[in-house]
Chains A and B, each alone.
Chain A
């Protein structure tokens, strides 16, 4: 039985067992029909030209892990940003782990999707925001149909979250391969601010396939900073679907750090629904072996006087494959847009591949839109300069690569996140420079 058939046939039993309000049931029933019709994307879809899910979909996954897993905090402490105080929402195999988490309902809501989907108190928010911006394609529909758990963050108007919020998904999958469908909803009110750090971490050698959907709503004047750290094991694959809707004068930024995992696909869309909006999309990809990272971004400018900035840097070693597929879409009435898109890549090995497709679709005339894409190597003269000053080749190379990626890091606002990323990069490049980068 194919994975698709298995998913579809297990839906009804799953739906019986889930406690959600009636309207959500309707949405999910529609979603499974949608998924049945559309299925998984194939290489024939233009957006999936360079990334094939075939190998992943052939495997057999356990969809609903029965055993509740428990993990000791100390063994997984390193995956947390633990040197600052944060709200944390932790899931183990898709199930909420209360002893690792620190949720709140005080001033801001940083809690569980399951609670939001079932409690009457949150019904107005769910009605207004749940499944409103994620396009109804196969993967999103699949996630919607099986949406049960995830993070729910609600920042009321005129509130600044006093701590950053961490969302961590652990997978243990001790008995078999595992497929997870986390669903997050983040609503940020007018003049509100929040910083979110998200991470997926596999603790097993078994295959894990995560199909995650996150919807973020930034209302007027809201400021949202979102950081995604992807440094998973070689058996874990992630399809991350994240959608932002921004109202006037809001500023949203998303940084994606892809350092690991077997196959990582980031579908990221920003929908601008107001004037004077700023959207910032940045990413660093640093991979080796047979890893595959695909960034698929879209910024849709629908109103005048907005900005968007995209900056993706990639360094590819061994047989790794990198894909960048960015799109800027400017509607007819969206005049005075400034949109920038930049994708720079370094191939370190002869077997690495990079496929880049930076696209512009522009229907308004009074705009400044540009994109640039480069593929090259480290500057030999710079290498020589460093070497001539007694820095060994490996360290010199690491320094240059770090400098290459640094532009993206400079806009990270949480110092601890920046520190953590620096550490990960140093680890990844396997050097000890004797000082903090």
Chain B
């Protein structure tokens, strides 16, 4: 029987979130609710030193006094913070020395996700730290990295084994009182990744973290801290998925990057949390605070591909503190169905001759709303600062919206700031051109969207670029009217 258009339509309608499985791993979950005792309990569970417990409690007290912000261009039912469990860990959690000891069921999960650890071990490609329900499960390639002096481990391990580093840097870029979600995260974060690249070391492989929310009714709060010492280089990847659920799940992470003199950090994210079903039910609330600090001659580059989450609210930022430092932000945000995204960046120019580039591509389809919100701030002493921003939006169908809210604040006459934005749809002539050459409309759209996002996708490390391209296609399938 021939494959007809109707078949395709049916297939697309039933196209489900590919990563929507749930792994039945016994996990140790706290009862719902949050108070000082819960914070203490989390800390105790993780066997943390006294100073860490105090640090968390302080954050909790700050959080208690804060109000949930509502200025973003997104609408959702606010999560009930007393109805979330703040700690959930896969139960059988002995320390593994080799992969063979890992719970096979867990391994199967990774297999399904396409990040087969076995395979990677063989190919010697990427060192992965997997965070499941906020607890770090495995860290691969630790030994290879250790030879170079690179520390790459889970945050809880870092607190135990490298307290001096954690104590020195944690919360310096994103302070506890920075915002509502950062304070919450500081109080209850359960795990995350810690990475330290010593002076002059170029990290020989891509470091990668993989986040997954598994348990129902839990919030995921991980904390990532990357410190690149003088003249070092590291490229860091982050990926996320979650099972399909009817209720909304909360993800409030904090990522801090510190690039010391002449260091470079490249941070790439492919975010594919469960976006909710076709009626807009369920999905992950993704409220993330990401910020990097650049010292003299340092460079931080954020690349993100955002295709998941019901509500996304994140602004990876760069504080260009040192002279001649560089900040970059490359983003593709795709929203479909009832997704809402309010994302962008902040470039704070403090040092002289600082440079920043912002390339943001927004694609909205279905009933979704996609907003770019960015701030470029040139302070008084930032002589010869330079910024270039470009944000383009692509609209598919007339039920979605694309919005641009750039903020540009300049206090120095030598600054050069440019901002450009356009909004348009895929031209009928473009589709026609493809059709004429035997490319069907669905494929043509994927082709055009890929071309539209090319500038950003090119910035991703190889392995991710391929995956991201596929993700774009999957997210937009069935959105052609």
Q: Bound state CA distance, A85 and B400, in angstroms?
A: 52
Q: Does B393 contact A (CB under 8 A)?
A: yes
Contact A367 to B408, CB < 8 A, known contacts A359-B403, A362-B403: no
Shortest distance from the beta carbon of A259 to any chain B beta carbon, whole Å: 20
Residues in chain B near residue A423, CB distance under 8 A: none
Q: Does A356 contact B (CB under 8 A)?
A: yes
Query: Which chain A residue lies CB-closest to B424?
Result: A368
Q: Does A234 contact B (CB under 8 A)?
A: no
Residues in chain A near residue B417, CB distance under 8 A: 373-376
Contacting pair A373 B410 (CB below 8 A) = no
Which of B378, B398, B405 is within 8 Å of A365, CB to CB? B398
Contacting pair B419 A365 (CB below 8 A) = no
Contacting pair B416 A367 (CB below 8 A) = no
Contact A358 to B398, CB < 8 A, known contacts A373-B406, A377-B413: no
The interface bits of chain B over 384-426 (1 if a CB of A lies within 8 angstroms of the residue's CB, else 0) are 0000000001011111111111111111111111111111110
Query: Which chain A residue lies CB-closest to B402?
Result: A362
Residues in chain B near residue A374, CB distance under 8 A: 416-419
Q: Bound state CA distance, A310 and B412, in angstroms?
A: 25
Q: Does B142 contact A (CB under 8 A)?
A: no
Of A94-102, A177-185, A342-350, A382-390, the segment with at least 4 beta carbons within 8 Å of chain B is A342-350
Give the total number of A-B pairs whose CB atoms are below 8 A apart.
121
Query: Which chain A residue lies CB-closest to B401?
Result: A363
Residues in chain B near residue A362, CB distance under 8 A: 393, 395, 401-403, 423
Contacting pair A360 B415 (CB below 8 A) = no
Residues in chain B near residue A366, CB distance under 8 A: 398, 425
Shortest distance from the beta carbon of A264 to any chain B beta carbon, whole Å: 19
Q: Does A357 contact B (CB under 8 A)?
A: yes
Q: Does B199 contact A (CB under 8 A)?
A: no
Contacting pair B414 A360 (CB below 8 A) = no
Query: Which chain B residue lies CB-closest to A344?
Result: B418
Which of A332, A350, A369 is within 8 Å of B398, CB to CB? A332
Q: Bound state CA distance, A365 and B480, in angstroms?
A: 12
Residues in chain A near residue B400, CB distance under 8 A: 363, 365
Contacting pair B407 A357 (CB below 8 A) = yes
Shortest distance from the beta carbon of A327 to any chain B beta carbon, whole Å: 9
Contacting pair A355 B425 (CB below 8 A) = no
Q: Interface majority SS on B: helix, strand, loop or mixed?
A: strand
Interface size on B, residues (CB 8 A): 35
Contacting pair B408 A355 (CB below 8 A) = yes
Contacting pair A347 B410 (CB below 8 A) = yes
Contacting pair B406 A357 (CB below 8 A) = yes
Q: Does A412 contact B (CB under 8 A)?
A: no
Shortest distance from the beta carbon of B99 to any chain A beta carbon, whole Å: 49
Q: Does A205 contact B (CB under 8 A)?
A: no
**Most chain B CB atoms below 10 A, which of A365, A366, A371, A377:** A365
Contacting pair B416 A370 (CB below 8 A) = no
**Most chain A CB atoms below 10 A, which of B396, B411, B419, B423:** B423
Contact A356 to B422, CB < 8 A, known contacts A347-B413, A362-B393, A373-B417: no
Which of A46, A332, A347, A357 is within 8 Å of B412, CB to CB? A347
Contacting pair A365 B396 (CB below 8 A) = yes
Contacting pair A350 B413 (CB below 8 A) = yes
Residues in chain A near residue B395, CB distance under 8 A: 362, 364-365, 367
Residues in chain A near residue B419, CB distance under 8 A: 356, 358, 371-374
Q: Does B71 contact A (CB under 8 A)?
A: yes
Q: Does A291 contact B (CB under 8 A)?
A: no
Q: Does A272 contact B (CB under 8 A)?
A: no
Known: A371-B421, A373-B417, A373-B418. 14 other contacts (CB 8 A): A333-B398, A353-B411, A355-B407, A355-B410, A358-B421, A362-B403, A365-B425, A366-B398, A371-B420, A373-B406, A374-B417, A375-B408, A375-B415, A376-B415
Residues of A within 8 A of B (CB): 46, 332-333, 335, 345, 347-377
Residues of B within 8 A of A (CB): 71, 378, 380, 393, 395-425
Q: Can you identify 18 A-B contacts, CB atoms within 8 angstroms?
A: A349-B413, A352-B413, A354-B408, A354-B410, A355-B407, A357-B405, A359-B404, A360-B393, A360-B421, A362-B423, A363-B398, A363-B400, A368-B423, A372-B421, A373-B419, A375-B378, A375-B408, A376-B415
